[in-house]
Amino acid sequence: MSNRIRNIQLKINLTKEEKELFEKKMKMTHCKTMNHFLRKVVSESDIFVVDLQPFREIQGLLSRYANSVNQIAKRVNSTGVIYSDDVNDIKQQIDHLSKEIWQIHSLLLDRTTTKGDDS
């Protein structure tokens, strides 16, 4: 074993379901051995860490804005009048949400174009 290039062994424990998933994915890659599959996964696969906080913030914004629209709709349905301030407020909220989404889009795009960076 000391003459081998790959002389370090790893041992893993899996549940029955994990083993079945492992074997299914191994077959999808057309790897003949577990060693080949694991080396392929480790050396060729990218790992992405995603911070979901910006999405949670957008979800909060969407919820608040939807509540505002519902309140305006109730008022319009009961009075038959819509105020220009309400329309302008909704426009501002939509603009703010669009900017937030664009920032996330830019961040994700930047992360995919600098793939391989350790940032």
pTM of the model: 0.49
pLDDT of residue 16: 96
What beta strand segments (E) does 30-92 contain?
A: none
- Contacts for 46-52 with beta carbons within 8 Å, 24 or more apart? 46/115, 48/111
Low-confidence ranges of the chain (pLDDT < 50): 118-119
Burial class (CB in 10 A: 0-12, 13-18, 19+), 85: exposed
pLDDT recorded at residue 100: 87
Question: What would the pLDDT profile of 13-34 be if each residue is shown by its tens digit?
Answer: 999 999 999 999 999 988 889 8
pLDDT at 19: 94
Q: What is the pLDDT of residue 18?
A: 95
